Amino acid sequence: MGRGRLITFALAVGLLAVSMPGFAHHGQVEYESKAITLKGTVTKFEWTNPHCILGVAVKNEKDNVEEWYAEILPPNRMTRAGWTQEIIKPGDEVTLVGRPGKQGAHIMWLEYVVLADGRKLKRDSGAR
């Protein structure tokens, strides 16, 4: 990711972090209703509240690499669904299925991820 994009992303995340209390729980209205599938290489996996984030480098149709970020759930809910902090590591090849952001940014609300060994990790066990 270029320096300019990194700064833009950091500012966007900072603004979201500051505005989150006003939203209480924002839901997923900023995401499309139809899911897409992306294949790529994990660049980072943040096991943090309020939502875990999975960064994946994906080649687009022009063979250029784009950095996508998948928003998941808080660690406590992911643990109940069978995830661990070490289950995904940078360099892992994965397939993401989720709903992309409506504004054209490379973000998505993750439905599930398929690991290179074929294991399918759902975002949530359904337990609350």
Q: Are 123 and 73 in contact (CB under 8 A)?
A: yes
* Separation between Cα atoms, residue 12 and residue 89, nearest integer Å: 24
| 20: confidence class by pLDDT, cuts 50, 70, 90 | very low
Q: Which domains does the chain possess? A: 29-122 (2.40.50.1010)
Give the model confidence (pLDDT) of 36-90 as tens digits. Answer: 999 999 999 999 999 999 999 999 999 999 999 999 999 999 999 999 999 999 9
What's the pTM value of the predicted model, to 2 decimals?
Answer: 0.74
| 3: confidence class by pLDDT, cuts 50, 70, 90 | confident
Give the model confidence (pLDDT) of 84-113 as tens digits. Answer: 999 999 999 999 999 999 988 899 999 999
pLDDT of residue 24: 44
At 46, which helix (H) or strand (E)?
A: strand 36-46
For the chain, the first-to-last Cα distance in angstroms comes to: 36
Percent of the chain with pLDDT over 90: 66
* Separation between Cα atoms, residue 66 and residue 44, nearest integer Å: 14
Q: Helix, strand or coil for residue 16? A: helix
